[in-house]
A and B are shown apart, each in its own frame.
Chain A
Amino acid sequence: MDEIQALAHGFGVALSLKNLLLMFTGVILGVVIGVLPGLGGANGVAILLPLTFGMAQTPGGATSAIILLSCIYWGALFGGAITSILFNIPGEPWSVATTFDGYPLAQRGRAGNALAAAFTSSFVGALVAVIMITFLSPIIAGFALQFGPPEFFAVYLLTFCAFIGTSKEPPFKTLAAMMTGFALAAVGTDPVTGTLRLTFGSTHLLTGFDFLVAVIGLFGIGEILLTLEEGLAFKGAKAKLNARVVLETWKELPKYWLTSLRSSAVGCFMGIVPGGATPASFMSYGVARRFSPRGAKFGTGELEGVVAPETAAHAAGTSALLPMITLGVPGSPTAAVLLGGLMIWGLQPGPLLFIEQKDFVWGLIASMYLGNIAGLIVVLTCVPFFAAILRVPFSVIAPIIVVVCAIGAYTIHNSIFDVWMMVVFGVAGYLFKKLRYPLAPMVLAIVLGDAAEASFRQAMLVSQGDLSVFFSNSLVGSLTGLALVLLFLPLITAVLARLRGKK
């Protein structure tokens, strides 16, 4: 029961007045970010990251900084549901599945119930995931302490192969996008020998591409351009959310305990394996529709159809932090941004964090419990305020979002060149999204590229160029093997489908 003791200590760290204040600030900012088109968890956190540089240098400041940023993330997860249900516009990709039953409910005048159900099940999903993180992460971290370069490379390989295996996008487009990320990561100084690579004599490229700029451009500017295509006006349902509606919904929710449980499991699993919240929400909606006795009515406004995707999305979004803090391998773009923050603050993510930075790790885990409670309180009480934001005309809100993105891109390195890069990444994001090139593997490749390459080359150095080092013991062998299975999964399923078709 070491975990309980460590967690209690973590609550001691997180429960200071300053940190509680940051928690509420973070959640409110996060919901606003989640509601606004063009701003989401990943780029919202990326834009606000530079504001924490000063904060993180004070004693205990890194913990406050991660509490602020992770709470922005929880807020963004909650916020996506508001726009899906009231406006039929998913503010975040993981809330697309929430629109299926959420919007019909709102049209029938049950918007309040849908919102209350969405928020409550988000909270439940997150809670299950946090409990899992509490007990699983010390074990995984302890396990990972024995990792050498081959094991770490195998984990990276697994991460990236999982994208190809589980992605809904065409596998070769996933591969092309991912490798572009690796190529961008390689620009600048070679991590092993210090040689300059791919800079072509430009001084701007000496330090390489910052993935935070890429995130702000790809997700922020790209998203704005996509939203514009849909036209400039948002039309939404009115939300009435009062204590009576919430209590009425809470009475109804226990009926769906099985869906909740199933969705949490799907979410936790998909979050750890880098697939992320978006496929988790679709998968869990699909599973719920299949197994629920009311499955046939899904899509017409079933509360259960809101519960399933929201639980899974939140569970996945939360558990994406598990591999981030234990292995230094983020499970989602937002987790990657948080990981980037850790590195900028001078913390080395990975198993050593659990030994050297106990206050930080357990403060973060405790803040996940508290942050989600704070989130639930904020969203249940302030829905009308957040919905009002979407009624601000797009021609006012869009330029302000662009300006915020530009300021965010600039402040990362105080470089105007980064603002230009942001625009370039914005165009790339728009084209990629429309042509179904996935953005998440690209972002993760930019973040992890150098580390993956370094671990590969160290492993090669140890084995003197013998690739069999990746199968040299049962641990690394099974990781590599699993990675290869995932890599060829699209091929395997295609072959199986053809065989079945012939019969």
Chain B
Amino acid sequence: MSEGEEGRAALRTKSAEVVVVALFFLLGGLVIYDSVRLGIGWQEVHGPRPGYFPFYVGLIICVSSAINLAQALLVADEKNTTFVQLGQLKLVLTVLVPTAIYAALVTWIGIYVSSVLFISFFMRWLGRYPWWKVVAVSVGAAVVFFLIFEIWFKVPLPKGPLESWLGLD
């Protein structure tokens, strides 16, 4: 997958480094902000205030991120390798986006129905399996999970309208 359009770099390593460092700064900043609010000094009886430890944690995050940023920026342009190719990114997103939708769906229709939909989507979209195989595997998996968790280990999982219609919860 290294040739043509699919092999083109979607993102270079340097850009990726900068994005991640920015996220680290955001996190460190948030931590420092809330630590200062809680107090970072010494307090009689209790010793260091609640913000003391996180404050330095936030500080170290920011300082080391600054160094990481500098090191990333110092990389020469010709050594700036591909972080992810276009084709790879497409594949990763075809998994990531459905996974995110799946996680959101669990709230509404329960984990069993959304799992059936999720597995079906994968097998049909990426695997191009005939529908009967898709249905057999996805429904089969859901039934196996139901037996293991609800019946065998008695761990209730989130359920939706279908389960209450079937009277399973």
Contact = CB atoms under 8 A, between A and B. Distances in A.
A50 B155 contact: yes
A396 B20 contact: no
Nearest to B54: A186
A173 interface: yes
A435 B48 CA distance: 35
A186 B57 contact: yes
Contacts of A387: none
Nearest to B89: A229
A186 B31 contact: yes
Interface residues of B, number: 65
Contacts, number: 173
Contact of A176 (B65, B100, B149): B65
Nearest to A418: B103
A228 B68 contact: no
A51 B153 contact: yes
Contacts of B68: 170, 172-173, 176
Interface string B60-76: 11001101100100000
Contacts of A50: 155
B103 to A, nearest CB: 5
A172 B34 contact: no
Interface stretch (A321-329, A373-381, A457-465): A457-465
A179 interface: yes
A228 B95 contact: yes
B19 to A, nearest CB: 8
Given A193-B46, A228-B95, A229-B88, A406 B31 contact: no
Contacts of B54: 182-183, 186, 197-198
A407 B145 contact: yes
A411 B149 contact: yes
A416 interface: yes
A183, A200, A414, A437, most chain B CB atoms within 10 A: A183
Nearest to B32: A183
Contact of A229 (B16, B47, B84): B84
B126 interface: yes
Contact of B67 (A172, A182, A407, A427): A172
B30 interface: yes
B31, B58, B103, most chain A CB atoms within 10 A: B103
Interface in B82-125: 83-84, 88, 91-92, 95-96, 99-100, 102-104, 106-107, 111, 115, 118-119, 121-123
Interface of A: 50-51, 54, 170, 172-173, 175-176, 179-180, 182-183, 186, 190, 192-193, 195, 197-198, 200, 221, 224-225, 228-229, 231-232, 393, 395-396, 398-400, 402-403, 406-407, 410-411, 414, 416, 419-420, 422-423, 426-427, 430-432, 434-435, 437, 453, 456-458, 460-461, 465
12 contacts: A179-B28, A183-B31, A183-B54, A198-B30, A399-B122, A400-B119, A403-B111, A403-B118, A403-B119, A406-B111, A423-B99, A432-B20
